[in-house]
Structure 1
């Protein structure tokens, strides 16, 4: 398997797409860094800033539109979706641009100061009302989970057959990359043992909740972007945040806030371990596929020592 490369477009191509979409003049088309799966550009229309994202992963933007409507209608500062379209073999999504820079660009002191607000927003997002939606795991374009249970999803997402997805043919990574079959199998068996604790819980999961997808102006959190949305145990998001902001006491801060607002989390320790293994297996595969060996071996050691 070759290393995945996100789509590449020239600014002139993006300008053509936008000129056909908007009646008013589009200015300032600029490529943005970040985004491992999409090509992202910012631009302005009538002095209002927007973002356009291009992807070759079918259906992902219909899901993002659903998530945008779900969250932004419940007070979560997620970019409102303006529209979807196609350009050549790519899908694109246009949304309003939220002001601010990613939290990763803030100083350590600013990040520490902003952490309580991050946790408040995380809690609000995880406890969004899900309406008549059903299912677990990845959210489909219709807004439902793709599987009947969390356990069914966990088994499916780690299965060899991932035809038509980003992970199509991923078993070849055992031969072509640093991904080790014995390590993967060991962590997978541990995941199955602990995921029974995650199984009963169904909430909205952002799916990629870290400092590069949290925006701030340095004084406050201005927004959350780039969800890889799922239904399941919200501690998956906490495990992600804790892994990325490891210099901060994320878990303790989170537990303090839950106690403060009266939310009880049964089997917290077992569920957070299950969440770490779930995230970790995705991380191992992703780092191997992207060719990020240092990140792979660092995560590998953490997972193997997690329950020893």
Structure 2
């Protein structure tokens, strides 16, 4: 799911002023990270150790990481330790330990499958967090409640015509880009037909569980990053994102078997997966249409049509 906005504008001189206030000795090295759509991210070294500093226009993600760190205290969970956070020059910042490793898409099929036990273990811990004191679906508000009363309401709002921010006026893409209205609406209709299978299933989800956000070291998941889209949804939304990136690896059956063994609800698993796959795909299609990349758009469309055909669900 995409949550793109404009990155904070902050330069190295400003960052060095902040770091001088935090660390008693000079930082040895600092360089801008190549990733990050909504945050300004830098890698730095201090006293021989590697850290990451992130700047954002709001502090919701950083507050959530502190909560998650406490909720999973004592658990072996691949979350970078958050050391410092606060506000600076109209932005919020957080400094964490840097996790060393590679993105999962750099691995072979055998290596990807060898990482699955650690991925599944981490996800089931995340999806088992008690939500009894929280309400709602979708993105979390400042009280860590979901912002929608129903899952269906979240889906409808996510793709509604009237939006603010990055997606304001996105319906114009049907007229001004290669985003095909009939195909998009046909896939949307199928997603909404499948939505009841996900309704009532509420778990803490990362929702952007793709290769850029999974750090692997020695065939083990050692880091999950970018918690900006954390939501209350069916846990299948996390699984679907990863499964779709490796469509030929038959990961769906492996996840279903593992979740069933761990007493997680796997009823109507295929229908729930298809609903999530369609949601991720529709969001990706409109995102790449807005950015003007027809190759990425076609890749997502071809992939989701292949998935629908594989599970014997008619396209429209």
TM range (shorter): 0.7 to 0.9
Who is 1:130 aligned against?
A: 131
CA RMSD of aligned residues (A): 2.6
Who is 1:80 aligned against?
A: 81
Who is 2:186 aligned against?
A: 186
Question: TM-score, length-normalised on structure 2?
Answer: 0.85
Asked if 1 retains the 8 angstrom alpha-carbon contact of 2:29 and 2:46, the reply is no
Shift of 1:211: 1.9
1:228-287 residue CA offsets vs partner (Å, 9 max, x unmatched): 211010001111010112342211221222243343411112111111112122111222
Who is 1:14 aligned against?
A: 15
Who is 1:43 aligned against?
A: 44
Who is 2:206 aligned against?
A: 206
Secondary structure of the residue that 1:20 maps to in structure 2? helix
Q: Which stretch shows the higher mean deviation, 62-71 or 23-32?
A: 62-71
1:141-167 residue CA offsets vs partner (Å, 9 max, x unmatched): 33211111111111111112222x432
Shift of 1:41: 0.8
Asked if 1 retains the 8 angstrom alpha-carbon contact of 2:112 and 2:219, the reply is no
Secondary structure of the residue that 2:212 maps to in structure 1? coil
Q: 1:152 to 1:264 in 2, by over 3 A?
A: closer
Q: Does 1:243 align with 2:244?
A: yes
Q: Does 1:104 align with 2:105?
A: yes
Asked if 2 retains the 8 angstrom alpha-carbon contact of 1:214 and 1:221, the reply is yes
Who is 1:175 aligned against?
A: 175
Question: TM-score, length-normalised on structure 1?
Answer: 0.87
Asked if 2 retains the 8 angstrom alpha-carbon contact of 1:126 and 1:234, the reply is yes
Shift of 1:187: 1.7
Asked if 2 retains the 8 angstrom alpha-carbon contact of 1:194 and 1:271, the reply is yes
Counterparts of 2:215 and 2:64, CA distance in 1: 21
Counterparts of 1:58 and 1:286, CA distance in 2: 24
Counterparts of 1:46 and 1:63, CA distance in 2: 28
Secondary structure of the residue that 1:222 maps to in structure 2? strand
Secondary structure of the residue that 1:129 maps to in structure 2? coil
1:37-75 residue CA offsets vs partner (Å, 9 max, x unmatched): 222111234444321122346745444544454456654
Who is 2:272 aligned against?
A: 271
